[in-house]
Amino acid sequence: MIVRSRAPLRIGLAGGGTDVSPYADDYGGSILNATINLFAHATIEPLDNGKIELRAFDMDEYESFDAEEFLEVNGKLALLKGVYNRVVKDFAKKPLSFRLSTTVDAPPGSGLGSSSTLVVAILGAFVEWLNIPLGEYDIAHLAYEIERQDLGLAGGRQDQYAATFGGFNFMEFYADEKVIVNPLRIKRKYVAELEHNLVLFYTGTSRESAQIIEKQRQNIKQHNDQAIEATHALKKQSILMKEAILTGRMDSIGEILHYGWEWKKQMASGISNSEIDDLYTLAMENGATGGKISGAGGGGFFFFYCPGTSKHKVLAALKKRDIYKQHYLFTQQGLYSYTLNS
């Protein structure tokens, strides 16, 4: 038997950061994101030798253990161990023997939600294997708890829900970890135009999002007026973006992105730096009308809205800086798991 699972990575189009506590708890947050055809993959192969084998192929990490109810989380393969520990605690109630292999189509710290998406993919494989009766909201919330509470990793709430549900979603975040996912019915021609004009680049550097997010959290907790005002503006941006995409006002998307980027930089230090500012200016000078870092900031993937044929000039300018575009398409499907019987 082989159990496979995959979950899509996401682009955060607007509202990023408003899903992070305590802002979401105190004021309510909203985000518009969309999943793309880059994935986190997980494969489980049941074993009968009383062993647990964990391997992350993209990280070149491997560990083997005797099957136990709890695996010590010591930094290495932490996400794999965290999901296993929670599945055994809540559902299996006994040690399991298996081989778990994972890989992600984007590097860690990419800003595409890779860590949370991997947790969803691993959890989805266990749900498939053990036939655990969990719905989409259940899986997303459990993935959130594993990452944020069990493993103590700082972050927001959008990634787990984007990976589980898939597609274009307008998400609302409230106190007590309440999340409402509103799938958007966007005309295919508008999606195609977004794919044509929204150009995704990898900056060549990853970043530690938890540090930036922790600064963000502290600014809200300490009632930093500038940070709160900036986060309010990003919540407004998510509504503006939703209306623009649903109604086909494509020419306004760049300026909405630019509006959000100017505010996002005021949420916490480390979101931008001189290199990112230079790349942003270069893209705007060559025809882009707006853009942003995907994720918390500091590095990873950057995207720009390039109307008409302006993307070709932007591509040429960034290529001279050894910054190349990432091919992608939007995908409507979220978490998908299946079993193959040998």
What is the per-residue DSSP string for 18-70?
A: TTSTTHHHHH-EEEEEEEEEEEEEEEEEE-SSSEEEEEEGGGTEEEEEE--S-
CA distances from 211 to 10, 159, 296, 297 (A): 21, 17, 9, 10
Contact (CB, 8 A) for 304 and 269 = no
Q: Is the pLDDT of residue 297 over 60?
A: no
pLDDT digits (tens, 9 = 90+) for 107-129: 877 889 999 999 999 999 999 99
Closest by CA position to 195, among listed 315, 327, 287, 285: 327
**pLDDT for the residue 215:** 80
Cα 122–chain centre separation: 15
- Who wins on pLDDT, 7 or 298? 7
Cβ atoms within 10 Å of 154's Cβ, excluding its own: 19
Q: Which residues of 284-304 are buried (b: 16+ CB within 10 A; e: fewer)?
A: bebbbbbbbbbbbbbbbbbbb
Strand extents, DSSP E, the chain: 2-14, 29-46, 51-56, 61-66, 98-104, 168-173, 179-183, 198-202, 290-293, 301-305, 336-340
pLDDT digits (tens, 9 = 90+) for 189-216: 999 999 999 999 987 765 555 677 778 8
Q: Is the pLDDT of residue 183 over 70?
A: yes
Angle between helices 158-165 and 136-145 (to 10 degrees): 150
Annotation marks residue 159 as catalytic: yes
Give the SS3 label for residue 11.
strand
**What is the pTM assigned to this prediction?**
0.94
Query: Which of these is catalytic: 48, 60, 159, 251?
Result: 159
225 exposed, middle or buried (CB, 10 Å; 0-12, 13-18, 19+)?
Answer: exposed
CA distances from 165 to 35, 121, 162, 333 (A): 9, 12, 5, 7
The residue-averaged pLDDT of 256-264 equals 94
Q: Which domains are delineated in the chain?
A: 2-185 (3.30.230.10), 188-319 (3.30.70.890)
**pLDDT for the residue 23:** 93
Q: What is the percent of the chain with per-residue pLDDT over 70, rounded to a whole number?
A: 96
**pLDDT for the residue 50:** 96
Q: What is the mean pLDDT of the chain?
A: 93
DSSP-derived letter for residue 319 is: H
Provide the residue type at 167 as one letter: G
Contact (CB, 8 A) for 139 and 162 = no
Instruction: In whole angstroms, give the CA distance from residue 308 to residue 306.
Output: 7
Cis amide leading into 8 (omega within 30): no
The residue-averaged pLDDT of 161-171 equals 98
**pLDDT for the residue 324:** 85
Q: Beta partners for 301? A: 202
